[in-house]
Amino acid sequence: MKFDHKKLDKLIAKNGLDECKQYIYDNARSIIQLSLLGEETYGNIGNSRIVGYPDLPTGMEWPETEDGERMTFIAQLNLKDIKPLDREGLLPEAGILYFFMGLDEPSYNIEHKVIYVENTAELAKCEIDEVSVLEETYGEFVSYRLSAKEIIQLPTYAYMNNEQISGDDTLYDRYSNMESELFDRDESYIGHLYGYPEGQHDDCELEAALMIVAAEEYGYKEEEIDKLVQHFSGDKKKAQQEIDDMIMLLEVDSSDAVGFCWWDCGVIHFFIRREDLVNRKFDNTYLSLYSS
């Protein structure tokens, strides 16, 4: 993963983490952090925003659930602003990504739609004359404009190698302090693209790969990878590659300002295969919810 080594080096030295410098280099990830910029006034068409009303091409139908209910608009991201922060070079150069979802019950394989529109010349604010499915359950959300910046993320607790972050009693504390300095989740934080998903276990990518690739639900057991191996006729290397190539396209956090509370103040994760992202196949994604 590409990232700013100079900034990382300064924090490694500051926190006395030279002994695990190579581990940090090998596992740090460049991510795109999203923050609330101010309540949406709809003065500009096509800006990045969270909930409210999307700016859609004329004639595009609002996504619906299998039961015929209107999905809730979660976010639109203007790639003209996001792409310069994309060190991996996976996102399209321009256009808008839209995220919609149905009810967050159950927490896995949630109904959703990710839509990519390349031509933004004829967009217009799109309102619906009925309450969307999540708003019917949780009430009205507050729309905000979004700002984006690139930051470096270290492996979170679930993804951290405990053998590497060990030694004296203060090593984990120093590592956690550096992690917080890099990734400051203040009140304006609402989510990010790429990086490590929030969670207690390092299995989010496996869960997504099982459904996207093999149409299998995750049973929350280590041996669940066997379902993916079986899908590839016993090829363990191919199965692991699919997990490694699973990209978190967007994580959206709970937010008092917006009105999001994913169960017990959790998060939602949209996942996509790396190959599908490169080829702009946004109809092949997975949405799950994590809450402690």
Q: Which two tokens stand for residue 181?
A: 């300095």
- DSSP code of residue 260: B
pLDDT in tens, 79-112: 999 999 999 999 999 999 999 999 999 999 999 9
pLDDT in tens, 219-250: 887 788 999 999 999 999 999 999 999 999 99
Give the closest residue to 145 by CA, choosing from 226, 275, 242, 45: 45
Cβ count near 82 (within 10 Å)? 21
> Is the per-residue pLDDT at 26 higher than 70?
yes
What pLDDT does residue 2 have? 66
In the chain, count H helices and then E strands. Answer: 9, 12
CATH fold of 5-290: Hypothetical protein YwqG fold (2.30.320)
Q: What are the residue boundaries of the structural domains of the chain, listed by start?
A: 5-290
